[in-house]
Amino acid sequence: MKITLIYDNEVYQKGLKSDWGFACLVEVENTPRILFDTGANGKILLSNMKKLNIDPSTIEEVFISHAHWDHTGGLSDFLKQNNRVKVYIPASCPEPHGAQEVVKVEKAIQIHENVFSTGELAGVEQSLVVKTEKGLVVVVGCSHPGVGTILNSASNFGNLHAIVGGLHGFNEFDLLNKLELVCACHCTQFKSKIKDLFPQKYIDGGAGKVIEI
């Protein structure tokens, strides 16, 4: 699988723009391309996508982690470019207008053969889980329900391998011992600490970063 960070608080690839928010493209073999979250600003989202040669029309599904503006702000502008998508939202998230289909997610579900949602956890946020040959890759928005809660839910689908996305104020660092790869993005408060503790498994994020697993 491949994850391309489109929107993040930092920039990895020169020429892209950083902003408070998160979005990434998730590509899994024999599976529709999934846009995970849409950042805060549609113009920045679409500009970064263009510079990364990501054509909005090639995306078939959008997965929204939670309703906060820095993850949904770009959705309306994206849908103006491509409304032929299925949008997965947690049950507490207001339904977006203009999408071909909207799926409200309450409990854990299988989306595709190797792609799952944890379901809406703590009444606020869902995470995307992808099963790979190396194990499960968990893509998170902000981890508001808690990283432990998310990893525990994801582990129902198999053995954990990686986590990518915002870890907010996460400081239960021992939880990362069970993972082989960590890419802390967006709102993660203790990036430097995580990097110091796990130098062999830590990957720097930033808009334009491509992670292949």
What the chain holds in terms of domains, given with CATH numbers, is: 2-212 (3.60.15.10)
Q: What is the DSSP letter of 67?
A: S
Using only C-alpha atoms, the chain has a radius of gyration, in whole angstroms, of: 15
Q: What is the pLDDT of residue 138?
A: 98
Helix residue ranges per DSSP H, the chain: 42-51, 69-72, 75-81, 147-154, 191-197
| Tokens linked to 191 | 């990036």
Q: What is the pLDDT of residue 39?
A: 98
Give the residues across from 102 on adjacent strands.
Answer: 87
Question: How many CA atoms, within 13 angstroms, populate the side-chain half-sphere of residue 102?
Answer: 14
Q: How would you write the pLDDT of the chain (213 residues) with one tens digit per residue?
A: 999 999 999 999 999 999 999 999 999 999 999 999 999 999 999 999 999 999 999 999 999 999 999 999 999 999 999 999 999 999 999 999 999 999 999 999 999 999 999 999 999 999 999 999 999 999 999 999 999 999 999 999 999 999 999 999 999 999 999 999 999 999 999 999 999 999 999 999 999 999 999
Cα angle value 175/171/202 (rounded, 5°) = 65
Cα angle value 176/125/28 (rounded, 5°) = 70
The rounded distance, in Å, linking the Cα atoms of 178 and 197 is 13
Q: What is the pLDDT of residue 198?
A: 97
Q: What is the pLDDT of residue 196?
A: 97
Return the sign of the alpha-carbon dihedral for residues 145, 68, 135, 188. negative
Q: What is the pLDDT of residue 33?
A: 98
- Least Cα distance to 121 among 140, 136, 103 occurs for 140
